Amino acid sequence: MQEILHFIGGEFKASQSNQWIDNYNPAEGKIYSKIADANHKDVELAYQAADKAFPAWSETPIEKRSKILLKIADLIDENFETLAKAESIDNGKPVSLAKAVDIPRAAANFRFYAKAITQFSGKAFESQGLKTHNMTLNQAIGVVGCISPWNLPLYLFTWKIAPAIAAGNTVVAKPSEITPMTAFKLAEICVKADLPQGVLNIVHGRGQTAGQAIVAHPQIKAISFTGGTATGQHIAKTAAPLFKKMSLELGGKNPNLIFADCNYEKMLSTTVKSSFANQGQICLCGSRIYVEDSIYEQFKTDFIAKTKALKIGYPLEASTEFGALVSKEHLEKVAAYIKIAQEEGVKVLTGGKQIQLKDHKEGYYFEPTILEVDNNNCRINQEEIFGPVVSLMKFSSDEEALNLANETTYGLSATIWTNNLNRSMRFSQKIEAGIVWVNTWLNRDLRTPFGGIKQSGLGREGGFEALEFFTEQKNICITFE
């Protein structure tokens, strides 16, 4: 059985304890590889390797660092088919989605930061008449920790690692123990790209052990984390007393506001995607759909019909649009929410049940599910399900729509469908979210700041924001005669 090994100091290693975790193929419900299960001793080894590599890497000329990042991006492209297939098998996502989104974006992350770092520099402040000059240096922090979730495995792993190493840091990174395969393959790519040993160290294992050891390590000076809000709270409690820099990208319960004056066809097809892409397992999915009452019934009929037409199937089949959920535990969590919905008197309009695929009866498939809600405070509308479950609710005024959208502890993203410019601007200003999409969804320019407010996170990633996070600014003040 294939072994997924740690990558420490440029070498592939099992855990010192020789402990392993079973890795499941969610489309078949079967164990297909085993993952080295790190504890604090393996994390310490990874830290030592990163610490050793830091002086040389942080002093490597930017052009050279940039070239290595570009080489990694090229190698991701060269291994496109293999990586897409690996991501699909490990996560259960349709291979078509891995090809369209996950793998191209992983390459784009490296390519973007290879270029961004060449444009990133300090500032100068000339105090005229005082014979004083101030300037700032953006210095690499040292060894940093990057921890990522299972929903967009290589996409989010590289979104952290690329800016961290571009800025001259060395890294101890941990992908999710549920989807470690493409991070393991990235290590092989880094060897081929001649990334110096110890610049990127990847440990595999559980959050409570390996992840916790990274967060609690006194010499790892910054933590970039993407995952659930409860985990983020726990990480913050550990890292804050150690005065670590923290970037926390957490959960969401995002509103999708649909007004009668929108471009209906575009809205409808995009809303199917924003509801069910990646089986609804994207932090930016619009899981609370609010529809203006004059088009509510029409929308309901059309949306149910389009959802029912989604091709659910084995993820490696090219035509599959909707694959398997990531794990048995997650499938059970989603199913439990349908029970909660029924207990709360919420109506199931379509879906709501586990599916047994003809040739893959043990796989973790669940129907795309649409619920109808009349109380915004029900658990279905307040808690992140992170699966193929959306709720519909109608509204009759702008004010009501805004209140419904903001009535949540989360604040990651929001989508508004309207052709009224004034309304789109008013809502964009008032909606409590880190990103607002008007007449579009998941439309990302990597230069823009990305992150959430409220319980969706702390800090911003993307563009120069990530390079700022992964550097410390130092002010130098010089007087002259």
Is there a catalytic annotation at residue 283? Answer: yes
In this structure, what is the dihedral angle of CA atoms 460, 465, 466, 467, given to the nearest 10 degrees? -160
The residue to which tokens 């029924």 are assigned: 342
Task: Give the sign of the dihedral formed by CA 37, CA 151, CA 91, CA 369.
Answer: positive
**Mapping DSSP to helix (H, G, I), strand (E, B) and coil, where does residue 364 land?**
strand
| Interface residue with ligand NAD, options 101, 171, 189, 235 (CB under 6 A) | 235
Instruction: Measure CA 424 to chain center.
Output: 26
Closest CA to 347 of 334, 338, 355: 338
Under rule CB under 6 A, residue 226 binds ligand NAD: yes
Per-residue binding string, ligand NAD, 57-96, x by CB under 6 A, is ----------------------------------------
Residue 34 backbone dihedrals phi, psi, to 5 degrees:
-130, 145
Measured between alpha carbons, how far is 257 from 389 in angstroms, rounded to an integer?
16
Nearer to ligand NAD, 87 or 398 (CB): 87
Distances (CA, A) of 430 to 95, 373, 399: 38, 24, 11
- Site residues for ligand NAD, window 154-173 (CB under 6 A)? 156
Q: Is 25 in the site for ligand NAD (CB under 6 A)?
A: no
Contact string 273-292 vs ligand NAD (x = CB under 6 A): ----------x---------
Binding of residue 328 to ligand NAD (CB under 6 A): no
Give dist(CA 115, CA 70) in Å, integer. Answer: 8
| Rounded distance between C-alpha atoms, residue 183 and residue 7, angstroms | 10
What value does the CA radius of gyration of the chain take, rounded to a whole number of Å? Answer: 23
First to last CA, the chain: 71
3-state secondary structure 15-27: CCCCCEEEEEECC
The site that binds ligand NAD (CB under 6 A) totals a number of residues, namely 31
* Position 249 contacts ligand NAD (CB under 6 A): yes
| Contact by Cβ (8 Å): 276, 304 | no
Which of residues 384 and 398 has its CB atom nearest to ligand NAD in the complex?
384
From 163, 168, 207, 411, residue interacting with ligand NAD (rule: CB under 6 A): 207
Select which of 146, 190, 262, 283 is catalytic. 283
Which of 42, 384, 432, 465 contacts ligand NAD by CB under 6 A?
A: 384
Residue 461, token pair as written in the block: 């990633």
DSSP state of 5: -
| Nearest residue relative to ligand NAD (C-beta) | 207
Does the protein bind ligand NAD through residue 411 (CB under 6 A)? no
Number of residues that make up the chain:
481
Which of residues 23, 39, 176, 182 is near ligand NAD by CB under 6 A? 176
CA distance 97 to 117: 29
Provide the CA 187 distance to its chain's centre, in angstroms. 19
Whichever of 296 and 364 has its CB closer to ligand NAD, that residue is 364
Identified binder of ligand NAD from the candidate list 142, 180, 251, 411, rule CB under 6 A: 251
Residue 177 contacts ligand NAD per CB under 6 A: yes
Stretch near ligand NAD under the rule CB under 6 A, chosen from 110-118, 220-228, 368-376, 392-400? 220-228
- Cβ distance to ligand NAD smaller for residue 267 or 446: 446
184, 290, 386, 427: which one contacts ligand NAD (CB under 6 A)?
A: 386
Residue 452 lies near ligand NAD (rule: CB under 6 A): yes
Of 28, 87, 249, 384, which residue is the catalytic one?
249
Contact with ligand NAD (CB under 6 A) among 153, 211, 286, 323: 211
249 among known catalytic residues:
yes
- Work out whether 457 is an interface residue with ligand NAD (CB under 6 A): yes
Distances (CA, A) of 466 to 153, 162, 246: 19, 10, 11
Site residues (vs ligand NAD, CB under 6 A): 147-151, 156, 174, 176-177, 206-208, 211-212, 215, 226-228, 231, 234-235, 249-252, 283, 384, 386, 412, 452, 457
**Residues belonging to the active site:** 249, 283
